[in-house]
Amino acid sequence: MHSKPIRLWLSGALLAASVSLAAAQGGRQPFQQPDERQPEIYFPQAPRPGEWRKSLGLIFTTTPPELTEEVRVSVPAVDFNLQKGLSKKLFLTGRLQTQFVQSNLGLGLRWATPLSDRLFLSVGDDMTGWFGALLIKDVFNSQAYGLQNFPNLSLGYRLNRDLQLTVRGEGILDMYYRSKVGTLAVVDNKWQVNGFAVSFVLEQPFYGNQHVSLGFRAAYSNFNWQFWSLYDTFDRNLFYPQVIFGFIL
Amino acid sequence: MRVIPYVLISFLFLVFLGCRKQYEAPVPYEFANAPGAGRFTAPVRQSIEGVYGVTDGAAQFGEQVALKWSYVLDGADTTHFLSIFTGVDVCFFNLEVEPQADILALTGYWRKLVNTETGRTRLAVRVKRNGQLQRYSGGLTAGDTLVLDGVYGNRTAEPTQKLTFTYRRPLNQKPFSILAHRSGGRTSDLLSVSENSIEIIRLASRLGATGIEIDVRYTKDGVPILYHDNSLNLRLIQKNGLDGAIEKYTYQQLQTFVRLINGERIPTLEEALETILTNTTLNFVWLDTKYIGPMDKVQALQQKFRQRAILARRDLRIVIGLPTQGAVDAYNALPDKENTPILCELDTAITRSLNARIWAPRWTLGPQTEEVLAMKSENRTVFVWTLDEPKFIEQFITEGRFDGILSNYSPVVAYYHYIGQ
């Protein structure tokens, strides 16, 4: 059994290992100017002012055994990212994830700066709203929606001219939740810490000029919007592993 | 060189997968389970039941609680327990009497089912008379107020934090079925006993249940047993190298090689019904049909224990749940099906066509007030399943028209039912 402090320590150690790896290679000759850009979505570097960048892909999230017991459900969500540079270091982020019966729209602001020619940092905050509705004869007459906030910190490292690694840590805050079955509804509008997540994403070329994001996200949280219809009642951080794949357009 | 990042990210992924936290909530108190009730005579026990205000400990357990006695029978011995149901985090107290104490004393533990919080507690029953707390030994007079005061602690630590409950009013006496899912609750709620075990059946009343739902499957050699999942897996059983469908194994193989997650044997349906009849006060059993195929063996056991309950003058209803069209077909193939009590989980039309006396829709369809009232006007009982969200449990009890709720959280169903006015 791992206690929470041990897991937090481990997360920190992983982050530190990534930074150390970056720092260890940081003494090499610069191979690229810091303000040069590869096609990227996760990498903590702002688009040039006025420039748009976008990606389209899929996210696979696996259900924790506490919720679906012997069954493992991994329904893909379509994942669309849109970003716009506001200044040299500041940019807007937008993200839509959808499984059609449930969707999540996020808007955020991020500030990014190079720490060296290889190492980059960003801090930001994303606000997301999610909505789900299920109407299935004799099974569901349910809807739910909510608001969550994700303060985040990303470290990016250019491993070589084509390959970029991003490590992102996020806090997950619940701000609002409303659930309705038939004519009954419950609301929870207390702000509370829901959990945290750590992502590791590689961005690289993929056949010719196409670039992709490929990574995973480990979320430890009480609630995950994709599984609102499972009506999780646990006040425990459950593990939601996610695999991320997206084409940078 | 390019391979290193991929190896690193794969390694990190494996590290994170290996970090799935295993939660535990061991019971911090060992019950003596001494038969009898000591100084807690029947009138004293009856006077203690009720809704109490929480003076000390409200931050942890909420503003009010419901106190209810239950007991377990073992031959001629009766062992009494006091349960306290709170409205916070599906928290309950389980207390036994201290027969050696020279006052009315109770000791045990509390547990919050939504998380792993638990701790020990000790309480004494006293009476507030003319503004003074006095020893209570039964016999309340006008103006008297019962007070349970004592201490609670966290985990196995010696209890030191003050706890005071002050009597407010009697429990809601309206008939209502508090049905515990999987014989008492899910294994994932970290109870001390496994779902669908004999041990949890004996515990169910202390968790607030008046009835239980149990999952019935057949072994390879046709013995009806209690087990929920399609396969043997580490969610429900201890590691033993066996896997696959439980129907692949004979009863003897399961008895020899398989232990449930907390060490119990997988019980047969007959053992479960025997326990319910002879050791508990449960008055309702919902046999959930998890098998595909003939229902005759389950029907035979149902009829056998119905007869035994009638002879023992036990108020006990045993019904076969029909969750699928396959189960309906198996029921329709039975001889003497008219004398086989059933519960239909399908729509109202099928319920009527089967003349099922109980209709049990899913809670995710909402209160369905019109349909519920129509079914009740036809003298049918209506339950809703499997409802665990505490806020919705409160709403279904206060605004719904149901006769009972099936839940993994029977303590919170008990709380909202008993505090009703």
DSSP string over chain A: ---HHHHHHHHHHHHHHHHHHHHHHHTSPP-S-TT---S-SSSS-PPPBT-EEEEEEEEEEPPPHHHHTT-----EEEEEEEEEE-SSSEEEEEEEEE-SSEEEEEEEEEEEEESSSSEEEEEEEEEEEEEEEEEETTTEEEEEEEEEEEEEEEEEEE-SSS-EEEEEEEEEEEEEEEEEETTEEEEE---EEEEEEEEEEEEEE-STT-EEEEEEEEEEES--GGGGGG-----S-EEEEEEEEEEE-
Report the residue of chain A nearest B245, measured CA to CA: A70
Contact between A241 and B17 using a beta-carbon 8 Å cutoff: yes
> Scanning every residue of chain B, which has its alpha carbon at the shortest distance from the alpha carbon of A8?
B19
Helix, coil or strand: residue B120: strand
Which CATH class, in words, describes the domain spanning A4-248? Answer: mainly beta
Q: What is the pLDDT of residue B280?
A: 98
The pLDDT of residue A139:
95
Distance CA B394, CA B391 (A): 5
- Interchain CB distance below 8 Å, A1 and B22: yes
| Cβ–Cβ < 8 Å for A132, A98 | no
Give the per-residue pLDDT at A23. Answer: 45
What is the C-alpha separation between B86 and B80, in angstroms, rounded?
Answer: 20
H helix runs in B285-366, sequence order:
296-311, 325-332, 348-354
The residue extents of the domains of chain B are: 42-169, 177-418
Query: Does the beta-carbon distance from B365 to A139 stay under 8 Å?
Result: yes
Q: pTM for this one? A: 0.92
pLDDT of residue B6: 65
B32 lies within 8 A of chain A by CB: no
pLDDT at A21 over 80: no
Say whether A239 and B19 touch across the interface (CB within 8 A): yes
Q: What is the pLDDT of residue A75?
A: 82
Q: How near does any CA of chain B get to the CA of A111, in Å?
A: 25
Does B392 contact A4 at a Cβ distance shorter than 8 Å?
no
Task: Please report which confidence band the pLDDT of residue A37 belongs to, taking 50, 70 and 90 as the band edges.
Answer: confident
Contact B64, B51 (CB under 8 A): yes
Q: Does B23 touch chain A (CB under 8 A)?
A: yes
Main-chain dihedrals φ then ψ at residue B222, nearest 5 degrees:
80, 20
Contact B21 A184 (CB under 8 A): no
Give the pairing type, strands B132-135 and A192-205.
unpaired
Alpha-carbon span B15 to B10, nearest angstrom:
9
**For chain A, what percent of residues have pLDDT higher than 70?**
86
Structure tokens at A211: 């670039």
Parallel, antiparallel, or unpaired: how do β-strands A76-85 and B105-112 relate? Answer: unpaired
Work out the minimum CA distance from A50 to partner chain B, whole angstroms: 32
Taking CB atoms and an 8 Å limit, are A235 and B21 in contact across chains?
A: no
Average predicted confidence (pLDDT) for chain A:
88
- Contact between residue A239 and residue A60 where contact means Cβ atoms under 8 Å apart: no
Instruction: Please tell me if residue B239 touches chain A, with a CB cutoff of 8 Å.
Output: no
Give A193→chain B minimum CA distance, Å: 15
Facing residue for B231 by CB, picked from A70, A188, A200: A70
Q: Assess whether pLDDT exceeds 60 at residue A18.
A: no
A140, A163, A235 member nearest B114 (Cβ): A235
- Using alpha carbons, select from B256, B168, B182 the residue that is nearest to residue B214: B182
Give A-chain residues touching B246 at CB under 8 angstroms.
none
Question: Could B17 and A186 be called an inter-chain contact, meaning their C-beta atoms sit closer than 8 Å?
Answer: no
Mean local confidence (pLDDT), A36-50: 91
How many CB atoms lie under 10 A from the CB of residue A117? 17
- By Cβ distance, the residue of B5, B188, B228 closest to A202 is B5
φ and ψ of A135, to 5 deg: -130, 95
Find residues 108-127 of chain B whose CB sits inside 8 Å of chain A. Answer: 112, 114-116
Contact state of A184 with B19 under an 8 Å Cβ cutoff: no
Contacts of A215 in chain B (CB under 8 A): 9
Tens place of pLDDT per residue across chain B (421 aa): 456 666 766 666 666 666 677 889 999 999 999 999 999 999 999 999 999 999 999 999 999 999 999 999 999 999 999 999 999 999 999 999 998 889 999 999 999 999 999 999 999 999 999 999 999 989 899 999 999 999 999 999 999 999 999 999 999 999 999 999 999 999 999 999 999 999 999 999 999 999 999 999 999 999 999 999 999 999 999 999 999 999 999 999 999 999 999 999 999 999 999 999 999 999 999 999 999 899 999 999 999 999 999 999 999 999 999 999 999 999 999 999 999 999 999 999 999 999 999 999 999 999 999 999 999 999 999 999 999 999 999 999 999 799 999 999 999 999 999 999 8
Q: What are the chain A neighbours of B182 within 8 Å (beta carbons)?
A: none
CATH architecture of B177-418: Alpha-Beta Barrel (3.20)
* Rounded Cα distance, B378 and B359, in Å: 11
Whether pLDDT at A1 is above 50: no
Q: Yes or no: say if B124 and B104 are a contact pair by the CB < 8 Å rule.
A: yes
A216/B9 touch (CB, cutoff 8 Å), yes or no: yes
B368 CB near a chain A CB, below 8 Å? yes
Q: Dump the DSSP string for A33-52.
A: -TT---S-SSSS-PPPBT-E
Please report the residues numbered 145 through 204 in chain B whose beta carbons come closer than 8 angstroms to any beta carbon of chain A: 188
- Strand (E) positions, B88-156? 91-97, 105-112, 118-129, 132-135, 145-152
Nearest to B9 among A70, A202, A231 (CB): A202
H helix runs in B18-155, sequence order = 42-48, 58-61
Taking an 8 Å cut-off on Cβ atoms, the answer to whether A183 and B367 are in contact is yes
Tokens of B66: 């419901």
Domains of chain A, residue spans: 4-248
Q: With an 8 Å Cβ cutoff, is B24 touching chain A?
A: yes
Please judge whether B233 and A70 are an interchain contact, meaning their C-beta atoms are less than 8 angstroms apart. Answer: yes
Residues of B in contact with A241 (CB under 8 A): 16-17
Chain A residues with beta carbon closer than 8 angstroms to that of B13: 200, 216
Query: Chain B residues with CB inside 8 Å of A182's CB?
Result: 365-368
Distance CA B410, CA B201 (A): 13
| Average pLDDT for A32-47 | 83
In angstroms, the separation between the Cα of residue A54 and the nearest Cα of chain B is 24
- Mean pLDDT value across residues A150-162: 93
| Contacts B234 to A, Cβ<8 Å | none
Report CB contact under 8 Å: A160, B8.
no
pLDDT of residue B9: 65
Q: Which of B100, B97, B280 is nearest to B201 (CA)?
A: B280
Residue contact A233–B395, C-beta within 8 A: no
